[in-house]
Chains A and B, each alone.
Chain A
Amino acid sequence: MKFTDSRIFQIALGFLVPILLLGAWQYASVTGYAAPNLLPPLTRIYGTFTDLLASGELGEHLWITLYRVFAGFVAGLAVALVLGILNGYFRFFRYLLDPMLQALRNIPSMAWVPLFILWLGIYETSKITLIAIGVFFPVYLNLLTGIISVDRKLIEVGWVHGYRGFRLIWHFFLPATLPSLVGGMRSGLSMGWMFVVAAEIMGASKGLGFLMTDGQTTGRPAIIMTSLILFAIFGKLTDMVMVWLGSKLLYWQTDLVTGKQQSA
């Protein structure tokens, strides 16, 4: 195997440009090429980070944001599963509900905020609902298309072997639809992160999004950047969890790639 084929090399290569950029950043801010009140040195960001962490403040903000994303994701996923399955399997419901959902999809996320605050107050419910809406659409759309475009030929195999109703769904439709559902869940999660920022910027007293606006109003860029970096890290981490979960759900595809055999 060539050295360039090794996984470690490939991963290391992905870190190269970010590290160079960070180096240039640090250099520019300590030598004064960049105004420190706009581009604080990395060391200051790190200092801000450890200060916030030590005071327990950061943990609190991070925790509430993660909680909102999680709760919104679960709620959005649940509704998407119900409506996706209903509209996917029963044409009646599809004709009844899908046009309305497609229309609602076109409302920009921020446009919901005033209404939700009016209806649901400024506390958690309105934020989680907003995030749930963001999660809902990609999951719903992927699931619906997945169900509708399931290979008829495989369903015929189910029919000729006497599979009907629930058994047909469990053994044929569900596994055939799973890849698009997993894809939808992944984009739903990234929408969840987008919407949590929207929700927290609009009005919150806690959360990473709040921390950012706080940094902005008090003129502390290090705080803004700390939150940005945390968004990047936790967005990536949760996405990795999602990919891992997907590979468990789609075990047959994973095994085929890695060449493992299924244990009986």
Chain B
Amino acid sequence: MEQTTLGSHLQIKKTAKRYGDKQVLQEVELEGKPGEFIAIVGRSGCGKSTLLRLVAGLEKASEGGIHIDGEEIRFIHPDTRVLFQDARLLPWKSVLENVRVGVKDGDIRKAEKALEQVGLSSRASEWPGVLSGGQRQRVALARALAGNPKLLLLDEPLGALDALTRIEMQQLIEQLWTEQRFTALLVTHDVAEAVQLADRVILIEQGKIAFDVKITLSRPREHNSDFAYFEKLILDRILIKEKAKSPSGNIGKNDNYTI
């Protein structure tokens, strides 16, 4: 296996997705460089999860397609892993066996190591049902990383966690990403989280990529004025649209705003 670049090269090419008559995504064009951390933000229902599921291979594109390392995917790519918002642990397997699900050759030591990375070795023999929400999500993260993915897709994985657990998880994700250098695609509704973690933040609006900004802050990121600048930049961009949509707005139907 090649050690120089561990992350997948992701290309989303003029991709559209329809459910029946409902156009969810259209002409989505996005490139993720190996090892890049991209965050996708947008209002609820704008198609973020759909985009992630397309990349995961769980849905088929209506037009265009997803290319990983230059090849169009037809089903789930063996080096792609997904972390869902609900941890989706198997109730009939112990914590360790749940992590082992993600190990390609089933080697239990790899599962133990992955569990250690998320700091839950001591809970290995327990049932997932007794863990807290944050612990469950950490087990799911261990399971996803146990297979040494080259592309990790995260669909609002921290959405259901309390603020403190969330910060811990963000740090853990950033640390593991730094160590393992996979390409990451994170869907989140939390702009601060996007700025905290991502090299690039992408905004989806009405099924299209409306905004794409590089976060040039150095890591680890502090919540200083530069951080606030990016946060405001993205938030304002989302909110402009809101004003335009309100009846009192005078901007009309034009879709192309610049910032």
Q: Which residues of A contact B (CB under 8 A)?
A: 153-154, 156-163, 171-172, 175-176, 178, 252-253, 255-256, 261-264
Contacts and interface: CB of A to CB of B under 8 A. Distances in A.
B121 interface: no
A159 B101 contact: no
Given A156-B58, A262-B94, A161 B129 contact: no
Contacts of A158: 101
Nearest to A174: B92
B58 A160 contact: yes
Contacts of B86: 153
A163 B78 CA distance: 10
A157 B92 CA distance: 14
B90 A175 contact: yes
Contacts of A163: 101
Contacts of A171: 90, 101
A261 B127 CA distance: 7
B148 interface: no
Contact of B147 (A153, A157, A161, A172): A161
Contact of A172 (B90, B129, B130): B90
Contacts of B90: 154, 157, 171-172, 175
Given A154-B88, A175-B92, A159 B76 contact: yes
A255 B127 contact: yes
B150 to A, nearest CB: 13
Interface in B90-140: 90-94, 96, 101-102, 104, 124-127, 129-130
Contact of A162 (B56, B104, B129): B104
Given A153-B86, A252-B127, A161 B94 contact: no
15 contacts: A156-B58, A156-B84, A156-B88, A159-B58, A160-B56, A160-B80, A160-B82, A161-B81, A161-B102, A161-B147, A171-B101, A252-B92, A261-B125, A262-B126, A263-B125
A253 B92 CA distance: 8
Given A156-B58, A160-B56, A262-B125, 12 more contacts: A153-B88, A154-B88, A160-B82, A161-B81, A163-B101, A171-B90, A171-B101, A178-B92, A252-B93, A256-B129, A261-B125, A262-B94
Given A153-B86, A154-B88, A252-B91, A160 B81 contact: yes
Contacts of B58: 156, 159-160
A160 B76 contact: yes
Of B80, B82, B86, which is in contact with the most chain A CB atoms at under 10 Å from its CB?
A: B82
A19 to B, nearest CB: 40
Nearest to B83: A160
Interface residues of B, number: 28
B76 A162 contact: yes
B151 to A, nearest CB: 11
Per DSSP, are chain A's interface residues mostly helix, strand or loop, or mixed? helix
Q: Classify the interface of chain B: helix, strand, loop or mixed.
A: loop
A35 B180 CA distance: 87
Nearest to A176: B92
B147 to A, nearest CB: 7
B95 to A, nearest CB: 9
Contacts of A178: 92
A166 to B, nearest CB: 14
B83 to A, nearest CB: 10
List the 3 shortest-distance A-B pairs measured between CB atoms, nearest first. Answer: A175-B92, A252-B92, A160-B82
Contact of A153 (B78, B84, B124): B84
B85 to A, nearest CB: 10
Contacts of B94: 262, 264
Contact of B78 (A162, A172, A255, A262): A162
A261 B129 CA distance: 12
B148 to A, nearest CB: 12
B255 to A, nearest CB: 34
Nearest to B102: A161
A132 to B, nearest CB: 30
A229 B145 CA distance: 60
B129 to A, nearest CB: 5
A252 B90 CA distance: 10
A252 B127 CA distance: 8
A263 B127 CA distance: 11
A177 to B, nearest CB: 11
Contacts of A154: 88, 90
A264 B102 CA distance: 18
Most B C-beta atoms less than 10 A away, residue of A156, A160, A176, A255 = A160
Contacts of B143: 161
B88 to A, nearest CB: 5
A224 to B, nearest CB: 46
A253 B130 CA distance: 12
